[in-house]
Amino acid sequence: MAEQLFLIAPDNADSAGLATKLEAALSAAPVSVLLLPVGDRSETEYADFVQAVAPFAQAKGVAVLLENRPDLVRHLGADGVHMTSGIKALREAIALVKPDFIVGTGDIGSRHEAMLRGELDIDYLLFGDRDESDAEMADWWAETFEVPSVYLAGSPDDPAVTTVRTEFVGFGGAIWDEPTKLVSMAGVPA
């Protein structure tokens, strides 16, 4: 079984450019999730961006997640929310959108913090958004717990991509410059 791909859009991508790059990424490998960061956008600009991108991605079978905005999930027709703030905000997001929508979390600084978050009603934990040593923590989580995990790789050339046992491998940043590099990811063993 191949790991599922979890893509993070560039912080301040425009909707038309992102749709073109997402199309290229989808032609290279199956993508399961697309996280849409807020970036420097105002609330109105973010809503417009999500409403332009989400239907396109969802029509291709990609779940669309908002960043730290559980209050907009229903209104904008997203599939869920990715929370990077503290455990209190994570609990509030869960109360607001579960069980109908996805709630995931990242920015995890320790195993203890991962376990505290994992005890909540979340759908995944993302490791690798702090530093490259998170591959070890992602592997530990995948080996030990049932809640799915995402390893955010620096690039498809990241050596951990071929060894980490997470359910999802995530990419952001430079992958959008060359989405065809995802071709090599289509057959990575889980």
Instruction: Identify whether 37 is part of a domain.
Output: yes
Tens of pLDDT along 4-46? Answer: 999 999 998 999 999 999 999 998 889 999 999 999 999 999 9
Instruction: Identify whether 190 is part of a domain.
Output: no
Instruction: Identify whether 187 is part of a domain.
Output: no
CATH of the domain at 37: 3.20.20.70
Tens of pLDDT along 82-126? Answer: 999 889 999 999 999 999 999 999 999 899 999 999 999 999 999
Instruction: Identify whether 73 is part of a domain.
Output: yes
Which H or E element spans position 15? Answer: helix 15-28
Cα-to-chain-centroid distance, residue 91: 18
Q: Which amino acid is at 67?
A: E
Distance, CA of 104 to CA of 73 (rounded, Å): 13
pLDDT at 179: 85
Please, which pLDDT band fits residue 185 given cuts at 50, 70 and 90? low
pLDDT at 90: 97
Instruction: Identify whether 188 is part of a domain.
Output: no
Q: In the chain, how many domains are there?
A: 1
Query: Residues 6 or more apart from 6 whose CB is under 8 A from it?
Result: 31, 32, 33, 35, 126, 150, 152, 168, 169, 170, 171
Instruction: Identify whether 161 is part of a domain.
Output: yes
Query: Residues 6 or more apart from 171 whose CB is under 8 A from it?
Result: 5, 6, 7, 8, 152, 153, 155, 156, 182, 185
Task: Note whether 7 and 33 are within 8 A (CB).
Answer: yes
pLDDT at 131: 65
pLDDT at 158: 87
Q: What is the mean pLDDT of the chain?
A: 91
What's the whole-number mean pLDDT along residues 174-189? 72
Which H or E element spans position 93? Answer: helix 87-97
Q: Which domain holds residue 96?
A: 4-182
Buried b (16+ CB within 10 A) or exposed e, 84-93: beeeeebeeb
Distance, CA of 155 to CA of 159 (rounded, Å): 9
What's the whole-number mean pLDDT along residues 146-168? 90
List, in sequence order, every residue forming a beta bridge with 64; answer none if it has no partner.
34
